[in-house]
Amino acid sequence: MNAAKDKKRHVDSVTIVSVLKRVIAENGRDHVRSYAFAISCLVMVALSTAFTAWIMEKVVNEAFANKRADIVWLICGSILAAFVLRGFATYGQAVTLSKIGNNIVARYQRRIYSHLMSLSVGFFAEARSAHLAAQISQNINGVRDVLNLTVTSTARDLLTLVALIGVMVTKDWVLSLIVFAVAPPLLYALRYVSKRLRAATREAVEQNSRVLGAMQETIQGIAVVKAFTMEGELDSKVSRIIKAAEGRANRIARLSERTSPLTETFAGFAISSVLAYAAFRSIYDNVPPGAFFAFVTALLMAYDPARRLAKLQVQLDRAVVNAQMIYALLDMQPAQREMAGAKDLVVDKARVELKNVVFSYGSGNPILRGVDLVAEGGQTTALVGPSGAGKSTIISLIPRFYDPAEGAILIDGQNIAEVTKSSLRHQLAYVSQQPYLFEGTIRDNIRYGRPEATDAEVEEAARLAYAHDFILAQPLGYETPVGENGMSLSGGQRQRLSIARALVRNAPILLLDEATSALDNESEAAVQKALDTAMRGRTVIVIAHRLSTVVKADKIIVMHEGRVMEEGTHEVLAQRKDGLYARLNNLQLPVRDLS
């Protein structure tokens, strides 16, 4: 049992040291001058504090016992100078460390965002976005706190405590021994509290992220909540989560503040013992009180840095837990790494081919089972079939949102696994079933398709997408803010903006994932016109939901249970009486309703 505890203590200390080393390695060099200035300020704070305690002997003995008026002004002036110096030094270190801390937080925010952009779509499919955002917002300050706590505790608190202990020992070593005798039990108790707090902190982060995540999901799905009268059920669910988070926060408060009664008891015992010893010496041995007053002043001044150092382990453990969570995210390797020596994709005819592609999500059953298909350059290829046939999966594999387990995907004969993802995706335009608009104006959202596009090109894309007229009808035209996810616009309007975004990209390959399935008839007609424009002269792979799109396609590929069952034109497939497509055509039902 003791061996296990010793091993755990060793692991905990190694963890703190390893995290500290990493934080210093990543940030220390960039802020070395600022830290040097802050440390020099902290040293001045420590020395001026010790000087104030040390000079108390002179004040008491010379001014009150010996009544020497000639040196009173000198003593008082030096005390004033020490306080002024400490004030400016405290200001300097506080501002400097705050600037460093803010820079570290901003730097890690940029790093995390860039790293998240490098992770695969599969990561975000498994991670709850609300939970992820909440966890990042809570943990990112941990990296800053690890460094700042170490600097302030070492350069200010530890140095101040050492200097004041030096004053105490020089003034009365016997009194110093009395103080030091009660320190070991205090340190042991604080170590015990620290271990308990480390586990509670990690659990609290998880609970708080669940609270924020649940609230964010409710806000995003408020229409569904209202429509299905889910308010009561969700209120009960969120209340349970909040209650659990509250309990965890209260436990952390209890553990964190246990240091207060421990340190106060220690301080009370030490000071009362010192006062008793000094009083008896003054009463019975006529010892001058100057050294005693200097000792007590040093002891009282040492209380604050000692208290902060006593809580350092607790605070550092919490900061390290938060920093570890951030580093766990930053150390996560992208599932789809680019091959060494990957080249840029060169597109000529924009011919897309899948060869014996097998794919499954995680360890589940295969979604695609040896798929072979060709989408000829400059033509429209439609994918049809029942729900779960693997149509959307094919659309996701072409931009390398995922990689197939077996087989290959080729564009003009080039394996997309051997080209850079950036060059691949620059040759693609994508219109999803659920269009997503970002915070900003209508013009901003269209321009995301190609950031260097001019205003004229943005407006021309909007015209081709049949969006120009409704945009001009908005209060500020193209400069109208779209609101959160474009909630101020109708579904058809959002979809036409997403088509305009695809058009302004001017990519040779266009991927359409049931772009009209969620629209009413009037909106669908407008969006279909926009799609007809977008599809001209491009290689188009479209998941067909409406028969109007299927009829016009150059090739129709019928899928079922992850396999290609039929392919051909509408006229050819419709004549096969026993075929799946013929059944669809005869019933005149959406493909996804077939089974």
For 80-132, give the secondary structure using H, E and C.
HHHHHHHHHHHHHHHHHHHHHHHHHHHHHHHHHHHHHHHCCHHHHHHCCHHHH
Give the mean pLDDT of 530-537: 78
Confidence band of 118 (pLDDT split at 50, 70, 90): confident
pLDDT confidence of residue 202: 65
Dmax of the chain from CA atoms? Answer: 121
User: What is the residue-wise DSSP string for 132-188?
Assistant: HHHHHHHHTHHHHHHHHHHHHIIIIIIHHHHHHHHHHHHH-HHHHHHHHHTHHHHHH
Query: What is the residue extent of each domain of the chain?
Result: 2-330, 352-427+507-593, 436-498
50-54, 286-290, 468-472, 574-578: least confident range? 286-290
Q: What are the pLDDT digits (tens) for 37-47?
A: 988 998 898 88
pLDDT confidence of residue 190: 63
Strands 539-543 and 368-375 turn out to be unpaired
pLDDT confidence of residue 267: 67
126 or 2, higher pLDDT: 126
Asked if 412 and 351 touch (Cβ cutoff 8 Å), the reply is yes
pLDDT confidence of residue 339: 82
Give the mean pLDDT of 349-356: 94
Residue 289 — φ and ψ, nearest 5°? -80, -5
In whole numbers, what is the pLDDT of the chain averaged over residues? 80
36 or 317, higher pLDDT: 36
Measure the CA–CA gap between 124 and 340, rounded to whole angstroms.
Answer: 25
Give the mean pLDDT of 340-361: 91
Label each residue of 388-440 as H, E or C. CCCHHHHHHHCCCCCCCCEEEEEECCEEHHHECHHHHHHCEEEECCCCCCCCC
Confidence band of 373 (pLDDT split at 50, 70, 90): very high
Handedness of CA 470, 472, 477, 478 (dihedral sign): positive
13-27, 380-394, 421-435: least confident range? 13-27
The first and second tokens of residue 176, run together, are 């110093």
Measure the CA–CA gap between 575 and 416, rounded to whole angstroms.
Answer: 36
Q: What are the pLDDT digits (tens) for 543-558?
A: 876 666 678 788 999 9
Percentage with pLDDT > 90 across the chain: 17
pLDDT confidence of residue 364: 73
In this model, does residue 449 exceed pLDDT 70? yes
140 or 401, higher pLDDT: 401
Q: What are the pLDDT digits (tens) for 229-261?
A: 778 878 888 888 888 878 877 877 777 666 667
Q: Which amino acid, 376?
A: E
pLDDT confidence of residue 5: 47
Q: Which residue matches tokens 């506080």? A: 94
Give the mean pLDDT of 164-192: 73
Residue of 490, 541, 519 whose CA lies nearest to 590: 519
328-342, 346-360, 563-577: least confident range? 328-342
In this model, does residue 163 exceed pLDDT 70? yes
Q: What are the pLDDT digits (tens) for 401-429?
A: 888 989 999 999 999 999 998 899 999 98
5-19, 163-177, 192-206, 571-585: least confident range? 5-19
3 or 262, higher pLDDT: 262
The first and second tokens of residue 256, run together, are 């964190």
pLDDT confidence of residue 277: 72
pLDDT confidence of residue 496: 86
Measure the CA–CA gap between 481 and 449, rounded to whole angstroms.
Answer: 17
The first and second tokens of residue 470, run together, are 């409704």
Domain covering 2-330, topology: ABC transporter transmembrane region fold (1.20.1560)
Judge residue 541's burial from the number of C-beta atoms within 10 Å of its C-beta, 0-12 exposed, 13-18 middle, 19 or more buried. buried
Identical fold between 2-330 and 352-427+507-593: no
pLDDT confidence of residue 376: 93
pLDDT confidence of residue 478: 94
Maximum mean pLDDT: which of 203-212, 240-249, 276-285: 240-249
268 or 429, higher pLDDT: 429
Percentage with pLDDT > 70 across the chain: 80
CATH says 352-427+507-593 is which class?
alpha beta
In this model, does residue 134 exceed pLDDT 80? no
pLDDT confidence of residue 593: 41
Residue of 35, 259, 530, 166 whose CA lies nearest to 158: 166
Residue of 20, 9, 40, 270 whose CA lies nearest to 143: 20
Label each residue of 208-238 as H, E or C. HHHHHHHHHHHHHCHHHHHHCCCHHHHHHHH
Strands 380-384 and 555-560 turn out to be parallel
Other C-beta atoms within 10 Å of 575: how many?
12
Residue of 522, 525, 531, 435 whose CA lies nearest to 487: 435
7-11, 151-155, 202-206, 393-397: least confident range? 7-11
pLDDT confidence of residue 409: 94
Asked if 401 and 318 touch (Cβ cutoff 8 Å), the reply is no
Give 76-85 contacts, CB < 8 A, sequence gap 24+.
78/51, 79/52, 79/55, 82/48, 82/51, 82/52, 83/48, 83/52, 85/44, 85/48
Measure the CA–CA gap between 416 and 420, rounded to whole angstroms.
Answer: 8
394 or 28, higher pLDDT: 394
pLDDT confidence of residue 297: 80
